[in-house]
Amino acid sequence: MSLLITPDALADLIAGSAPVRILDVRWRLDRPDGRPEYLAGHIPGAVYVDLGRELAAHGEPTDGRHPLPSATQLGQAARRWGIDDGDTVVIYDDFTSFAASRAWWVLADAGLPDVRILDGALAGWVASGRPLEEGTVVPEPGAVTLGRGFLPRLSIDDAARLPDSGVLLDVRAAERYRGDSEPLDPRAGHVPGAVNAPTTGNVDADGRFLEPEALRERFEQFGVGDDRPVGVYCGSGITAAHSALALTLAGFAPQLYAGSWSQWSNHPDRPVALGSEPGGRP
């Protein structure tokens, strides 16, 4: 089953008889509420998903800024979105599929078998010449049954140990990895041993994921290989899901450290590395 879908293929799904549920997950750090933009124009039939409230829990700072939602929280949200068992779920956002990838990871981890990202995001749909609709979509409640733990993940202790036996990728921008600046979290730097592989390198100029062969070559340059476990983290577990998807497309089996830097940096007992090298300086 493909993890990506083109605008043409999505249009065919919408026109066909198979059940499909489209989720609009617009979210950015500088604009966490994407509902106004959703109301102004979205793919016909798409339901708005609130990432902060429905795809993340709210815990202590030591849990990170966007902890994974509980099974109960996610199940309630997915039924609100109208998802039933057996549905194909297509997810998009309006910013290079970062937020959409978080939704993909959470739903795939919950056991949904057919979850896909609209490659090229909303801009790709618009560029294909297809229409948008205004207003809100309120579907009949679904009856989907969800689980948890279908995808591999890392705890904070797992993330600390992984560089000894595998590759831990830090997919934040280089300046945050180095510790030059930290606008969001209490300490700057990176997990000792982590390798910097910014998420932006997963896509082309149009926001589409690189071909699997190109993604594989990219990650191999960071030391990723079939014989070594690979984990991935970012600031708060959002863009890390994007790289988890890219790694999956490349044929690897990534483990997501969902707490990410926002959790690690809130634990004063955890060491911090600075600079451009994985080990850095204390």
pLDDT bucket at 281, cuts 50 / 70 / 90: low
Look at residue 9 and tell me if it is in a domain: yes
pLDDT bucket at 249, cuts 50 / 70 / 90: very high
Residues 122 and 14 in one domain: yes
pLDDT in tens, 56-85: 998 899 999 999 999 999 999 999 999 999
Residues 19 and 81 in one domain: yes
The predicted structure's pLDDT at residue 250: 97
Rounded CA gap, 203 and 100, in Å?
A: 14
pLDDT in tens, 254-264: 999 999 999 99
Residues 106 and 165 in one domain: no
Rounded CA gap, 96 and 78, in Å?
A: 23
Look at residue 274 and tell me if it is in a domain: no
pLDDT bucket at 279, cuts 50 / 70 / 90: confident
Q: Shortest CA distance to 70 belongs to which of 114, 109, 33, 121?
A: 109
State the Cα angle at 238 between 192 and 42, rounded to 5°: 160
Q: Which of 234, 241, 244, 272 is catalytic?
A: 234
Predicted confidence (pLDDT) at residue 16 exceeds the cutoff of 90: no
Give the three-state DSSP class for 20. strand
The predicted structure's pLDDT at residue 207: 94
The predicted structure's pLDDT at residue 30: 83
pTM equals: 0.95
pLDDT bucket at 1, cuts 50 / 70 / 90: low
Mean pLDDT of the chain: 95
Q: Which residues contact 131 (CB under 8 A, 6 or more apart)?
A: 44
Predicted confidence (pLDDT) at residue 17 exceeds the cutoff of 80: no
Question: Position of tokens 């902890």?
Answer: 67
234 is catalytic: yes
pLDDT in tens, 42-57: 999 999 999 999 999 9
H helices present in 95-227, as ranges? 98-109, 121-127, 156-161, 174-178, 212-220
Strands 230-233 and 115-118: unpaired
DSSP state of 61: G
pLDDT in tens, 218-234: 999 999 999 999 999 99
User: What would the mean pLDDT of 103-112 be, rounded to a whole number?
Assistant: 97
Look at residue 60 and tell me if it is in a domain: yes
Domain span including residue 13? 4-127
Look at residue 147 and tell me if it is in a domain: no
Q: How many domains does the chain have?
A: 2
Look at residue 143 and tell me if it is in a domain: no
pLDDT in tens, 151-186: 999 999 999 999 999 999 999 999 999 999 999 999
Predicted confidence (pLDDT) at residue 280 exceeds the cutoff of 80: no
Residues 21 and 86 in one domain: yes
Residues 231 and 172 in one domain: yes
